[in-house]
Structure 1
Amino acid sequence: MLERIRIVLIGTSHPGNIGGVARAMHNMGLADLALVAPRCEVITQDSISRASGADHLLHQAVIHATLEDAVADCTLAVGASARSRTLPWPMISPRELAERLPSECHQEGAHVALVFGREDSGLTNAELQRCHAHVHIPTNADFSSLNLAAAVQVLAYECRMAWLIQATPEPVSDNEDELATHAELERYFEHLERTLIAIDFHDPAQPRQLMARLRRLYLRARPEKMEMNILRGILSATEKAADRQQP
């Protein structure tokens, strides 16, 4: 299970924090580290020092240009969020996240991404909207700021505890399809928005959070690959029907 969990850091600005994250991961048996557009060098004396023997994770880390690239093959992406947003999103605690991991990681090819934002500003709303759910660490309200490595350590600990407990997952039926990947969902959202614009249901100039609300709906539903194919087919048929109605 642990090998299917990926830690994703976005826009990290200090190499020491990346080293601290590597140490926290190695402490708990995690090894998949992805960096999205880091704002600093990854391999420095400071990062190696802070890694304290886990510097092999720094050398193995994969650097991506965008969050979409970093989580493209993931079936579940969870964003670490320290504050509420204007559009409510499914919010879970670290313990609730851990309880979901055995069943989430059970399927063939499943990968779970735990996404962390910048040290100074966290994740943007757009980045959070690309996550199925948000995880919030219930810190002291009077002093809630967590160091990046400390936040990763908390979630990594819960992941390890779930692995140690190894709760028996629900049996998978023979006809259960694989969950859609993040990349497949993103292609669906692009297709959906294009179709809604074509039939004059969605005006990009006055979006009214329509696409954000639809993202929330479909990410909460966790569609399977077959279901995604059906939805894409409906959109294609809708586009063809709209073209026939053109004068």
Structure 2
Amino acid sequence: MYDKIRVVLVNTSHPGNIGGAARAMKNMGLSQLVLVDPERFPDPEAVSRASGADDVLAGARVVATLEEALADCVLVLGTSARDRRIPWPVVDPREAADKVLDQLEGPNAGPVALVFGREHSGLTSEELQRCRYHVHIPSDPEFSSLNLAAAVQVLTYEVRMQSLRRQGQSTTFASSSVAASDDQQPVTAEQMELFYQHLQQVMIEIGFLDPEHPKKLMSRLRRLFERGQPNQVEMNILRGILTETQKAIGVQAAGARRQ
């Protein structure tokens, strides 16, 4: 499906932005890049900024006009950061992703284009009128112009996220499913009570807790460790620290007696 999504960059002036856009595309699984009348391409700086997305650059198609880039597309969405006061359907990146996927999953699936304009002036009004939808990224109005590669990243990210959700795939980090060993299991209530007793005893021994005036120290510490929900490994570490603290106290006490 991703091979039907075409990223179209119009009259790009800086080759580094082409490389950055290629990298953003590859991050999200897209590969179809079309360049409309780029000022400098191919160029070593594009390769440098692509950072491994060389295959996307190598497969990029260079055309002379936007009409040629869009000729076979069944859906075109154009990005614009400015309010041009023309009555046209405007969507945000998430809505744009849904429009793209609805088209690709529908009965009339065909190439879909995401069109990005010039770094300094964007798409012209005439170019935007070739787009069925205008995509507005809701950035800070005080500084609304995004770097070209960043804009490509935003839109392609939303397409990928919506696609994963529709397929029922997780959008969080997929960690390896390894059965938890015994020392990764949470501690029992009994083990927690033994720890609290041990902790209280050590605090008394080092003079941090006055058993005659305990105030609410143990209650506060109980809340702290209950929030943390330590597992077996972590509990062993905590008990080990307490034990070694008692050993250190014993050594110091023995040394003081010898003196």
Tell me the TM-score normalised to structure 1 length.
0.65
Provide the C-alpha distance between the structure 2 equivalents of 1:9 and 1:76, rounded to a whole number of angstroms.
Answer: 16
The answer to whether the 8 Å contact 1:2/1:159 transfers is no
What's the counterpart of residue 89 of structure 2? 90
Letter in 1 for 2:141: A
1:29 alignment partner, SS class: coil
For residues 4-52 of structure 1, what are the alpha-carbon distances to aligned partners after superposition, in whole Å with 9 as ceiling and x for unaligned? 1100000000110000000000000000000001111x22221111000
TM alignment of 1:79-158, pairs within 5 A: 79-106=78-105, 107=107, 109-158=109-158
5+ residue gaps, structure 1:
169-247
What's the counterpart of residue 78 of structure 1? 77
Letter in 1 for 2:150: A
What's the counterpart of residue 16 of structure 1? 16
For residues 67-108 of structure 1, what are the alpha-carbon distances to aligned partners after superposition, in whole Å with 9 as ceiling and x for unaligned? 111011110000001111132211001011112222200235
TM alignment of 1:1-247, pairs within 5 A: 1-40=1-40, 42-106=41-105, 107=107, 109-166=109-166
The answer to whether the 8 Å contact 2:101/2:159 transfers is no
Provide the C-alpha distance between the structure 1 equivalents of 2:37 and 2:30, rounded to a whole number of angstroms.
Answer: 21
Tell me the TM-score normalised to structure 2 length.
0.62
Letter in 2 for 1:38: P
2:85 alignment partner, SS class: coil
Radius of gyration: which is bigger?
2
The answer to whether the 8 Å contact 2:19/2:49 transfers is yes
5+ residue gaps, structure 2:
169-259
Name the structure with the higher helix share. 2
Displacement of 1:162 after TM fit?
1.6
Higher relative contact order (CA 8 A, sep 6+): 1
1:121 alignment partner, SS class: coil
Provide the C-alpha distance between the structure 2 equivalents of 1:63 and 1:8, rounded to a whole number of angstroms.
Answer: 10
Point out 4+ residue stretches in structure 1 off by more than 6 angstroms.
none
Provide the C-alpha distance between the structure 1 equivalents of 2:37 and 2:146, rounded to a whole number of angstroms.
Answer: 21
Letter in 2 for 1:12: T
For residues 126-159 of structure 1, what are the alpha-carbon distances to aligned partners after superposition, in whole Å with 9 as ceiling and x for unaligned? 0000111100000011111210000000000001
The number of residues matched between the two structures is: 167
2:142 alignment partner, SS class: coil
Letter in 2 for 1:66: T
Displacement of 1:59 after TM fit?
1.2
Provide the C-alpha distance between the structure 1 equivalents of 2:76 and 2:125, rounded to a whole number of angstroms.
Answer: 14
